[in-house]
Amino acid sequence: MKDFKDFMTGWVYTDTVKDHFINPRNLWKKEEDFTPDGFGEVGSLACGDQMRVGITVEDDRIKEIRWLTYGCASAIASTSMMSELVKGMSLEEAYKITPEMITDRLGGLPEHKFHCSVLGDKALRAAIDNYYENKGLENPFKGTVAKVVCECRNVTDQQIEQLVKTGQVRTLEELTEKTGLGTGCGKCKAKALQMLEELKHIYNIT
């Protein structure tokens, strides 16, 4: 009979991904008395994944972070890594963290799993937004980051532009394969297709 070690060696993930999946850092445990200064929730169970992030803030820096997800191994490992990365960061730095920064620190993710890594940073931004809201202040960083085109998979306009610009994506099918765009509710497809055509025109890609 196969043991646990055999099971894990069959994986295509890096050792860092496995480590964060098996020992996720900063998980939000029910028994823990954690009262966040800011709370964010994104995704939906209808789309197959959901993420909650809570933060405490001191001197405009993230003091503590907790998270909870109904996601796959990649989502768990990515959010665990993100939580390590942003602890101690200024709110501005944390607001601008990207899925690429997280996956780089994980040593990469299988391409078809990249989209699983994007919920964490989105929930973190929602938590920072909520922190400012709770204080009755304007979030000074809002609007300084990319716009989301696919809500279910958190694919942004900047990501799409980069993929088209570098010739990695020419069709909607390729975009879906790379990012997961359109694999939830599907309502973003028409907009994404229009963007694709415009970008191909701008960057002269046939």
Rule CB under 6 A: which residues touch ligand FES? 150-153, 181-188
End-to-end CA gap in the chain: 52
Task: Please say which residue, 29 or 187, places its beta carbon nearer to ligand FES.
Answer: 187
Out of 116, 150, 152, 188, pick the active-site residue.
116
Output DSSP code: residue 27: B
* Distance of closest approach, residue 47 Cβ to ligand FES, in angstroms: 6
Coil, strand or helix: which one is 184? coil
Task: Please say which residue, 42 or 82, places its beta carbon nearer to ligand FES.
Answer: 42
Helix (DSSP H) and strand (DSSP E) numbers for the chain: 9, 5
| Beta strands at 61-69 and 49-58: parallel, antiparallel or unpaired | antiparallel
Q: Concatenated DSSP letters for 40-91? A: EEEEEGGGTEEEEEEEEEETTEEEEEEEEE---HHHHHHHHHHHHHHTT-BH
Task: Please say which residue, 47 or 205, places its beta carbon nearer to ligand FES.
Answer: 47
* Distance of closest approach, residue 185 Cβ to ligand FES, in angstroms: 4
How many C-alpha atoms does 43 have within 13 Å on its Cβ side? Answer: 27
Single-letter residue type at 146 = A
* Distance of closest approach, residue 124 Cβ to ligand FES, in angstroms: 20
Task: Please say which residue, 20 or 115, places its beta carbon nearer to ligand FES.
Answer: 115
* Distance of closest approach, residue 40 Cβ to ligand FES, in angstroms: 18
Is 185 part of the annotated catalytic residue set?
A: no
Is 47 part of the annotated catalytic residue set?
A: yes
| Beta strands at 61-69 and 148-150: parallel, antiparallel or unpaired | unpaired
94: closest CA among 161, 167, 24, 40?
40
* Distance of closest approach, residue 152 Cβ to ligand FES, in angstroms: 3
Q: Which residues are catalytic?
A: 47, 116
